[in-house]
């Protein structure tokens, strides 16, 4: 839950933005040369299949809210460009008015079921940064499904013994103990170097402990990644599938880093027939050491979770984005489309999904 200070800051920001909107400042910035020369890259993760947006509103949005965002985008007169074209025009100073590109991270199944139909309705191009390991091992993503199950089963205490062997009864009703239980389970899996199959069995145990119908979650494919045939269909339907590493991680070792990109690229090529050359840093984590490695791998652009609009002065391998979250009000979203919000103090966005 947001703190009182954060709530107060949010209210202040809302009042400021509403005043700026009524005073015509949105329009002034909209039409300014400053905004005209900038590209707003929107970033999304999941669009919920069921109740995932209630579990993590920073990573998952309901389809209803996502639709209102797309409607606002349309009403505000933004030009939504395919990402590669937007970049080309950004660096040749040839952007149309209020340029926007839409990106999705990870490639969960809900992109296919929820986001894609809405994007098609609006005829908006989209870039999907796909992490590929769980595309082939099509079971729920370990770290995120553990977090989701602990939240979903929060009305019951959890006996950690059958899961990690530690004698502890944890109440999952509040955020703190729930986060510690999640840490315990993740550390256990890491410490034992469990394989994907072993981690999957651990998740089954956890669901069983929490009396959650795991088969029902599997049938709905909650927090699963896209299957190869779905990626293929999306690419045929015009979705631009790009790189996000194979195992959602960026090792600090050159060889391992390059392998992540190569495995990811090969897998995407097999599914789409295209050679991906745009990259998004998993979890928004980047390091100066990555830049020469990205160049070596033939990467043309890399997006971060740093908040802002991209300009001609932006390093193409460190492009800022705007991570849209459901807690944001329509006026705050409109503030970003116009560019006004870039001048106001901001929270930091992130892609919280951790490495596999
Ligand atoms: Zn990610």
Per-residue pLDDT of the chain (356 residues; tens, 9 = 90+): 456 777 767 777 777 777 767 777 667 667 778 899 999 999 999 999 999 999 998 899 999 999 999 999 999 999 999 999 999 999 999 999 999 999 999 999 999 999 999 999 999 999 999 999 999 998 999 999 999 999 999 998 999 988 998 888 899 999 999 999 999 999 999 999 999 999 999 999 999 999 999 999 999 999 999 999 999 999 999 999 999 999 999 999 999 999 999 999 999 999 999 999 999 999 999 999 999 999 999 999 999 999 999 999 999 999 999 999 998 999 999 999 988 888 766 655 444 443 34
How many Å lie between the centroid of ligand 1 and the Cα of residue 7? 27
For ligand 1, a single-atom ion, which residues have Cβ within 5 Å? 105-106, 282, 351, 353
Residue 202 in tokens: 């651990």
CA-to-CA distance for 330 and 94, rounded, in angstroms? Answer: 29
User: Alpha-carbon distance 36 to 339, whole Å?
Assistant: 10
Cβ contact 105:280 at 8 Å = yes
Q: How far is the CA of 283 from the centre of ligand 1 (A)?
A: 5
Ligand 1 mean position to 58 CA, how many Å?
A: 13
Per-residue pLDDT, 350: 47
Cα separation values, 226 from 131, 213, 247, 280, Å: 10, 22, 14, 18
Is residue 137 classed exposed, middle or buried when 0-12, 13-18 and 19+ CB atoms within 10 A define those classes? middle
- Give distance in angstroms: CA of 106 to centre of ligand 1: 5
Task: Record the pTM.
Answer: 0.90
Nearest to 276 by CA among 256, 314, 302: 302
CA 206 / ligand 1 centre spacing (Å): 24
**d(CA 21, ligand 1 centre) in Å:** 33
CA–CA distance, 183 with 162 (Å, rounded to integer)? 16
CA–CA distance, 33 with 38 (Å, rounded to integer): 9
What b/e string do you get for 34-51 counting C-beta neighbours within 10 Å, with b at 16 or more? ebebbbbbbbbbbbbbee
- The pLDDT of residue 353: 41
The helix or strand, by DSSP H or E, that contains position 39, with its residue range, turns out to be strand 39-44
Q: Checking DSSP bridges between strand 99-106 and strand 278-280, what pairing results, if any?
A: unpaired
For residue 286, which of 275, 299, 274 has the smallest C-alpha distance?
Answer: 299
Tell me, in angstroms, the distance from the centre of ligand 1 to residue 322's CA. 14
Q: What value, to the nearest 5°, has the Cα angle with vertex 354 and ends 351 and 356?
A: 140
Q: How far is the CA of 28 from the centre of ligand 1 (A)?
A: 35
Q: What is the pLDDT of residue 63?
A: 98
DSSP 38: -
Alpha carbon of 44 to ligand 1 centroid (Å): 10
**Mapping DSSP to helix (H, G, I), strand (E, B) and coil, where does residue 14 land?**
helix
* Distance in Å, CA 109 to ligand 1 centroid: 14
For 264, the 3-state DSSP assignment is helix
CA distances from 11 to 5, 209, 326, 330, 347 (A): 10, 41, 16, 13, 14
Task: Report CA(351)–ligand 1 centroid distance (Å).
Answer: 6
Coil/strand/helix, residue 167: coil
CA-nearest of 218, 315, 234, 303 to 271 is 234
If you measure from the C-alpha of residue 350 to the centroid of ligand 1, how many angstroms do you get, rounded to a whole number?
9
Question: For residue 29, how far is its CA from the centre of ligand 1 (angstroms)?
Answer: 32
Q: Which structure tokens are listed for 65?
A: 């809210």
Contact 337, 79 (CB under 8 A): no
């Amino acid at each position: 839950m947001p703190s009182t200070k954060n709530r107060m800051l949010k209210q202040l920001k809302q009042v400021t933005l509403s005043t700026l909107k009524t005073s015509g400042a949105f329009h002034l910035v909209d039409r300014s040369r400053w905004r005209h020369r900038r590209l707003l890259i929107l970033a999304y993760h999941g669009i919920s299949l069921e109740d995932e947006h209630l579990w993590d509103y920073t990573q998952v949005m309901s389809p209803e809210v996502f639709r209102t965002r797309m409607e606002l985008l349309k009403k505000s007169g933004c030009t939504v460009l395919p990402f590669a074209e937007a970049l080309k025009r950004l660096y040749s100073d040839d952007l149309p008015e209020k340029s926007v590109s839409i990106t999705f991270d990870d490639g969960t199944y809900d992109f296919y079921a929820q986001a894609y139909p809405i994007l098609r309705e609006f005829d908006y191009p989209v870039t999907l940064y796909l992490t590929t390991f769980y595309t082939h091992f099509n079971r729920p993503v370990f770290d995120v499904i553990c977090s989701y199950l602990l939240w979903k089963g929060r009305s019951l205490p959890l006996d950690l013994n059958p899961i990690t062997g530690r004698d502890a009864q944890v109440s999952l009703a509040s955020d703190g103990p729930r986060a510690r239980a999640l840490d315990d389970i993740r550390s256990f899996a890491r410490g034992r170097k469990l394989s994907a199959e072993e981690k999957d069995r651990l998740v089954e145990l956890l669901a069983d402990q929490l009396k959650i119908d795991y088969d029902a979650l599997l049938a709905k494919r909650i927090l699963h990644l896209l299957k190869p045939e779905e990626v293929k269909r999306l690419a045929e339907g015009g979705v631009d599938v790009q790189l996000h590493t194979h195992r959602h991680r960026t090792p600090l070792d050159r060889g391992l880093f390059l392998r992540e990109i190569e495995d990811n690229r090969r897998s995407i090529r097999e599914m789409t027939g295209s050679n991906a050359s745009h990259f998004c840093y998993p979890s928004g984590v980047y390091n100066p050491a990555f830049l020469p490695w990205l160049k070596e791998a033939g990467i043309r652009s890399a997006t971060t979770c740093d908040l802002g609009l991209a300009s001609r002065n932006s390093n193409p391998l460190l492009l800022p984005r705007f991570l849209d979250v459901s807690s944001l009000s329509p006026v705050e979203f409109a503030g970003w489309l116009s560019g006004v919000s870039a001048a106001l103090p901001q929270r930091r966005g992130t892609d919280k999904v951790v490495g596999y």
